[in-house]
Amino acid sequence: MASFNRVVLLGNVTRDPELRYISSGTAVTEIGLAVNDRRKTASGEWVDETTFVDITLWGRTAEIAGEYVSKGAPLMIEGRLKLDTWEKDGKKNSKLRVVGEKMVLLGSKGDGQRSGGPGRAQRPAGREASGGGDDHAPAEPEYDEGRSAGGVAADDDIPF
Instruction: Check: CB of residue 131 under 8 Å from CB of residue 107.
Output: no
Instruction: Categorize the per-residue pLDDT at 107 as very low, low, confident or very high, splitting at 50, 70 and 90.
Output: confident
Say yes or no to pLDDT of 99 above 50: yes
Question: The pTM is what?
Answer: 0.65
Cβ-Cβ contacts under 8 Å for 131 (sequence gap 6 or more): 57, 58, 59, 60, 61, 62, 100, 101, 102
Q: What is the mean pLDDT of residues 59-74?
A: 93
Instruction: Categorize the per-residue pLDDT at 130 as very low, low, confident or very high, splitting at 50, 70 and 90.
Output: low
Other CB atoms within a 10 A radius of the CB of residue 123 amount to: 17
Instruction: Categorize the per-residue pLDDT at 156 as very low, low, confident or very high, splitting at 50, 70 and 90.
Output: low
Classify domain 7-157 at the CATH class level: mainly beta
